[in-house]
Amino acid sequence: MTSFQPTAEFAAELDAQDALRDFRNQFHIPLAPNGQPSIYLCGNSLGLQPKAARAAVEQEFESWEKLGVEGHFHGTSPWMHYHETLTASTARLVGAKPVEVVVMNNLTTNLHLLLVSFYQPTATRYKVLMEGGAFPSDQYALESQARLHGLAPDEAIVELRPRAGEHTLRTEDIVATIQELGDSLATVILGGVNYYTGQAFDMAAITRAGHAVGAMVGFDLAHAAGNLLLHLHDWDVDFACWCSYKYLNSGPGGTSGVFVHERFAERPDLLRLAGWWGHDPADRFQMKKGFRPMTGAAGWQLSNAQIFPMAIHRAALALVDEAGGMPALRRKSEQLTAYLEYLVRRLELPATVLEIITPADPAARGCQLSMLVHQNGRQLFDFLAAAGIIADWREPNVIRLAPVPLYNSFGDVQRAGQVLAEWAAGKAK
Extract the annotated binding site for pyridoxal 5'-phosphate. 107-108, 135-138, 220, 223, 245, 276, 304
Nearest distance from C-beta of residue 228 to ligand PLP, angstroms? 14
Q: Which stretch binds ligand PLP (CB under 6 A): 53-61, 132-140, 307-315, 349-357?
A: 132-140
Strand partners, 239: 218, 260
Judge contact between 250 and 312, C-beta under 8 A.
Answer: yes
Distance CA 182, CA 77 (A): 49
Q: Which stretch binds ligand PLP (CB under 6 A): 66-74, 104-112, 258-266, 320-328?
A: 104-112
Among 220, 238, 341, 412, binds ligand PLP (CB under 6 A): 220
For ligand PLP, the closer CB: 33 or 252: 252
| Phi and psi torsions of 122, nearest 5° | -115, 180
Cβ–Cβ < 8 Å for 156, 141: no
Shortest Cβ 141–ligand PLP spacing (Å): 8
Which part of the chain contacts ligand PLP (CB under 6 A), choosing from 20-28, 30-38, 219-227, 414-422? 219-227
Dihedral sign from CA coordinates of 211, 296, 77, 64 = negative
137 forms part of the interface with ligand PLP (CB under 6 A): yes
Given a contact cutoff of 8 angstroms between Cβ atoms, the answer to whether 412 and 405 are in contact is no
Query: Where are the strands (E) in 212-278, listed by range?
Result: 216-220, 239-243, 256-260
Chosen residue from 223, 330, 332, 365 binding ligand PLP by CB under 6 A: 223
What kind and span of H or E run contains 64?
Answer: helix 52-67
Distance CA 297, CA 117 (A): 12
The residue range among 74-82, 105-113, 177-185, 396-404 that interacts with ligand PLP, by the rule CB under 6 A, is 105-113
Query: Hey, which residues between 174 and 193 contact ligand PLP (CB under 6 A)?
Result: 191
d(CA 225, CA 249): 11
Sheet strand arrangement including 216-220: 101-104, 256-260, 239-243, 216-220, 185-191, 127-131, 157-160
Query: Cα Rg for the chain, rounded, in angstroms?
Result: 22
Query: Using CB under 6 A, which of 119, 135, 300, 410 touches ligand PLP?
Result: 135
Query: Nearest approach, Cβ of 138 to ligand PLP (angstroms)?
Result: 5
Strands (E) in 183-287, as ranges, are 185-191, 216-220, 239-243, 256-260
- Residue 56, SS3 per DSSP: helix
For ligand PLP (CB under 6 A), the number of binding residues is 12
Neighbouring-strand partners of residue 259: 101, 240
> Using the rule CB under 6 A, which residue among 56, 91, 107, 248 binds ligand PLP?
107
Concatenating the DSSP letter of every residue in 328-365 gives HHHHHHHHHHHHHHHHHHTT---TTTEEE-S-SSGGGB
CB of 16 to ligand PLP, least distance (A): 34
- The total number of residues shown for the chain amounts to 429
Tell me which of 222, 369, 373, 413 binds ligand PLP, using CB under 6 A. Answer: 222
Task: Rule CB under 6 A: say whether 195 interacts with ligand PLP.
Answer: yes
Closest CA to 228 of 94, 350, 127, 134: 94
106 binds ligand PLP (CB under 6 A): yes
The one-letter code for the residue type at 206 is I
Q: Does 239 bind ligand PLP (CB under 6 A)?
A: no
We find the least distance from the C-beta atom of residue 358 to ligand PLP, in angstroms, to be: 15
Minimum gap (Å) between residue 101 Cβ and ligand PLP:
17
Sign of the Cα pseudo-torsion (35, 39, 44, 47, in order) = positive
Nearer to ligand PLP, 197 or 414 (CB): 197
| Stretch touching ligand PLP by CB under 6 A, among 50-58, 133-141, 288-296, 368-376 | 133-141
Closest to ligand PLP by CB, 192 vs 210, is 192
Question: CB of residue 68 vs ligand PLP: minimum separation in angstroms?
Answer: 31
CB of 84 to ligand PLP, least distance (A): 22
Q: Which of 264, 246, 263 is nearest to 255 (CA)?
A: 246
Which residues between 261 and 280 bind ligand PLP (CB under 6 A)?
Answer: none
At closest approach, how far in Å is the CB of 359 from ligand PLP?
18
Binding-site residue numbers are 107-108, 135-138, 220, 223, 245, 276, 304
Does the footprint of ligand PLP cover residue 341 (CB under 6 A)?
no
Which residues face 185 on adjacent strands?
127
Residues that bind ligand PLP (CB under 6 A): 106-108, 135, 137-138, 191, 195, 220, 222-223, 243
